[in-house]
Amino acid sequence: MANNNRLLARKPPAPYIRSMFIETEATPNPLTLKFLPGQAVMDAGTREFASPEAAEASALAEAIFDTGEVTNVFYGRDFVSVTAAPGADWSALKPQVVAILLDHFVSQAPLFAPGTAAGIAVPAEDEVDDDPADADIVAQIRELLETRIRPAVAGDGGDIQYRGFREGVVYLTMQGACSGCPSSTATLKHGIEGLLKHYVPEVTEVRAA
């Protein structure tokens, strides 16, 4: 499992400001770190920002992108995963990200800009167009994703979204730390595919979507 380390970040003294810990964890993706503020980040769902333009929906994500060395920001239930650009120096970038997170959570600023789809995973899973004849199979797949697979993926700083089931093939999208991770293909093919095929005989393959 990932090695943990803890940074104590402090704001300038003020009567209403408390110090807080921002914990960090390494992830299977060497470019991604997982930051845990010790409180909820998302009330429900997940949210991924894969570009500075997408990050405009959230002042926190936008500030992290403004460091100039970040390619992805992902919000989970109680963590923020940040992916650095290839060649970026995490020893210099990590304190910057911690300071940005501290500013956000201590000030209790809103996570999303007004008028955005706050708290909704993007794109919504409900948009998947499955064959109604496969409803029972899809229900089994979704239950396994929710109870067995997504919690494990979240532990590595990412998420996995269901994208469809057609002719025995399950289509999934990796997000956060798992997106672009060198081990993501192995995770899909040997971990997730094996589990789904074991419990749902109708599944013959898992592919990235």
Shared domain check, 169 and 136:
yes
Which CATH number do you get for residue 8? 3.30.1370.70
Shared domain check, 98 and 9:
yes
> How high is the pLDDT of residue 188?
72
Q: Is the pTM higher than 0.85? A: no
Domain-located, residue 116: no
> How high is the pLDDT of residue 134?
95
pLDDT along the chain (209 residues), means of 10: 49 48 90 94 91 95 96 95 94 96 93 65 57 94 91 84 93 81 67 91 91
Shared domain check, 101 and 131:
no
Shared domain check, 79 and 12:
yes
> How high is the pLDDT of residue 87?
93
Number of H helices, E strands in the chain: 6, 9
- Domain span including residue 33: 4-107
Q: How many domains does the chain have?
A: 2
The last residue of one of the domains, among 80, 107, 134, is 107
Shared domain check, 84 and 34:
yes
The last residue of one of the domains, among 107, 139, 173, is 107
- Closest CA relative to residue 192, chosen from 145, 130, 139, 124: 145
Q: Mind giving me the DSSP string for 174-206?
A: EEETTTT-TTHHHIIIIIIHHHHHHH-TT--EE
115 neighbors 103 (Cβ within 8 angstroms)? no
Shared domain check, 129 and 103:
no
Percentages of the chain per state (helix, strand, coil), in multiples of 5: 35, 25, 40
